[in-house]
Amino acid sequence: AMTRSLKAQAPENLEFCAYLALYPTIRSTVDYGPLASRPIRLFMGTLDEATSITTVRAFAESQRAAGADIKLFEYEGAHHAFDNPEFRTPVLARVSGAMFTVAYHPQAHARIQKDIQQTLAEVFAKQ
């Protein structure tokens, strides 16, 4: 989907240098096939109920087995949207009939900032 979006909106010679996804929606029932020739980095809270960490781990492993450069960053005890301080008071969200907790996690927020900075430095160092 991201590649299609890029092709529709950007010059022909422009490509993503990496894919970074914070608490992505991944479905265990979907066969995604090989996704990208660029690094994929996933950032997930271990308590995210919108997409379980088990599903994301399996997805990362299947992509790795297909040859993808993929890394999963896990944030222990963090729910969906853990980097958003507007959710200091946890709320129960409903999206497409699914209910899940949305809650800020200050330690995970601090760590993801460092992880993303390091990831971007690594990706751009290869350019």
pLDDT band at 6 (very low <50, low <70, confident <90, very high): low
What does the pLDDT read at residue 48? 97
* Domain regions of the chain by residue span: 18-23+36-122
What does the pLDDT read at residue 4? 60
> Locate tokens 């066969």: which residue?
31
18-23+36-122 has which fold?
A: Rossmann fold (3.40.50)
What does the pLDDT read at residue 29? 77
Distance in angstroms (rounded) separating the CA atoms of residues 121 and 60: 22
List pLDDT tens digits, range 49-76: 999 999 999 999 998 998 999 999 999 9
Nearest to 25 by CA among 64, 69, 55: 55
Q: 117 vs 11, which has greater pLDDT?
A: 117
pLDDT band at 3 (very low <50, low <70, confident <90, very high): low
Averaged over 12-35, what is the pLDDT?
Answer: 81
The pTM of this model reads 0.86
pLDDT band at 99 (very low <50, low <70, confident <90, very high): very high
Nearest to 25 by CA among 1, 6, 9, 4: 1
